[in-house]
Structure 1
Amino acid sequence: MKNVTDSFVSLGDWPYAGSFAFNTDILATNPINLSVVLGVLIFFGKGVLSDLLDNRKQKILSSIRNSEELRAKAIEQLEKARARLRKVEIEADKFRVNGYSEIEREKGNLINSTYENLQRLENYKNEAIQFEQQRTINQVRQRVFQQALQEALETLNSCLNSELHLRTISANIVMLGVMKEITD
């Protein structure tokens, strides 16, 4: 521990650098040791360094080749996707056009069927009106005929004797039978 504290104490004894100068003493700067160490490093490190650089170069080249292959595959897939997109767009346009024409066709069919239904309903309405008119006319005829017959009978009953009365009734019965056959 004393050596450590002595080294700090001795730092205070160092002279301050006043100016910058080269040390030309060969033994003090130790260039021989440095050149030997550098020579050994260059001699033995050259192979290791060249191997490292060659490995790195090979990795970079293989990465570039892989990247080029991936790029080529990506371009190929992109072209295929674009072709599929164009095909799908064409089909979508066809469906859109066919869809619009189908909608128009269905619209026309719906309008036609609605018109036909309206015509049918109009015919049913007209037939019902004619039936009711005919029935009403027949009812009015029957009432008028019954009233006329009643008035005629009342007139005959008041004016006629019993023999004439019986002949008139027989004639009227025959006429009623004929009229009934006509109306049926």
Structure 2
Amino acid sequence: MKNVTDSFVFLVHWPSAGSFGFNTDILATNIVNLSVVLGVLIFFGKGVLSDLLDNRKQRILNTIRNSEELRGGALEQLEKARARLRKVEIEADEYRVNEYSEIERYKLQLIDFTYKTLEQFENSKNETILVEQQKAINQVQQRVFKQALQGALGTLNSCLTNELHLRTISANIGILGEMKEIRD
């Protein structure tokens, strides 16, 4: 490396009379040096720069192509998802309609069952009331009959004398005798 540096330093200090070297006069040689450097850079760097730009262009194109493929796949998945969503919405609507119908049927059955149960309770209540009324009527009749019988017995016992008693017995025996003769 030191040899390369020494060579450049040697060229800079080499006398310029009739030989090749670098002119260190900046004002006189700047445009020429710049054009030479740019020419060398363009000549040698053109291929490298072109390769770099081509590689970059290929990467960008590949990225765009991949993005387009991903976009196409995403659109396809989106359409599939929309189709599944429509199918699920239709099934949900059918389920909702079926369930509402089932609920309405169940509600009507429940109302009908409740109506029948209330009707049975009403009939049972009416029957119970009739039975209780009949019991009450029977109790009242028994009390009235008992009181009437007690009153009649009380009247008979107070009015009945031995002579009336014997006449009643004789009359009843007579009636029974006549009934026996009619039968025979």
Which aligned runs of 4 or more in structure 1 are off by greater than 6 angstroms? none
Pairwise CA distance, 1:47: 1.6
Aligned match of 1:35: 35
Give the secondary structure class of the aligned counterpart of 1:130. helix
Pairwise CA distance, 1:34: 2.0
Paired with 2:126 and 2:138, the residues of 1 have a C-alpha distance of: 18
Q: Does 1:120 align with 2:120?
A: yes
Paired with 1:39 and 1:112, the residues of 2 have a C-alpha distance of: 104
Pairwise CA distance, 1:161: 3.3
User: Which amino acid is 1:106 matched to?
Assistant: Y
Aligned pair in 2 of structure 1 residues 84, 162: CA closer, same or farther (>3 Å)?
Answer: farther
Higher relative contact order (CA 8 A, sep 6+): 2
Deviates more, 1:64-73 or 1:92-101: 92-101
TM-score by length of 2: 0.71
User: Which amino acid is 2:48 matched to?
Assistant: V
Q: Deviation string for 1:60-83 (max 9, x for gaps)?
A: 011011101101110111011110
Aligned pair in 2 of structure 1 residues 135, 162: CA closer, same or farther (>3 Å)?
Answer: farther
Paired with 1:117 and 1:56, the residues of 2 have a C-alpha distance of: 87
Deviates more, 1:98-107 or 1:151-160: 98-107
Aligned pair in 2 of structure 1 residues 28, 162: CA closer, same or farther (>3 Å)?
Answer: farther
Aligned match of 1:71: 71
Pairwise CA distance, 1:144: 1.0
Pairwise CA distance, 1:28: 2.4
Aligned match of 1:177: none
Q: Deviation string for 1:103-157 (max 9, x for gaps)?
A: 2112211210110111011011111111111101110111111011111111111
Structure 2 stretches of 5 or more lacking a match?
1-26, 170-184
Paired with 2:132 and 2:42, the residues of 1 have a C-alpha distance of: 127
Aligned match of 1:60: 60
User: Which amino acid is 2:39 matched to?
Assistant: G
Paired with 1:159 and 1:57, the residues of 2 have a C-alpha distance of: 147
TM-score by length of 1: 0.71
Paired with 1:133 and 1:162, the residues of 2 have a C-alpha distance of: 45
Aligned match of 1:51: 51
Aligned match of 2:136: 136
Paired with 1:152 and 1:162, the residues of 2 have a C-alpha distance of: 18
Paired with 1:82 and 1:151, the residues of 2 have a C-alpha distance of: 101
Paired with 2:160 and 2:32, the residues of 1 have a C-alpha distance of: 180
Equivalenced residue count is: 141
Q: Does 1:97 align with 2:97?
A: yes
Q: Deviation string for 1:12-55 (max 9, x for gaps)?
A: xxxxxxxxxxxxxxx72643222211111012211210111011
Superposition RMSD in Å: 2.0
Aligned pair in 2 of structure 1 residues 162, 87: CA closer, same or farther (>3 Å)?
Answer: farther
Q: Which has the larger radius of gyration?
A: 2
User: Which amino acid is 1:138 matched to?
Assistant: N
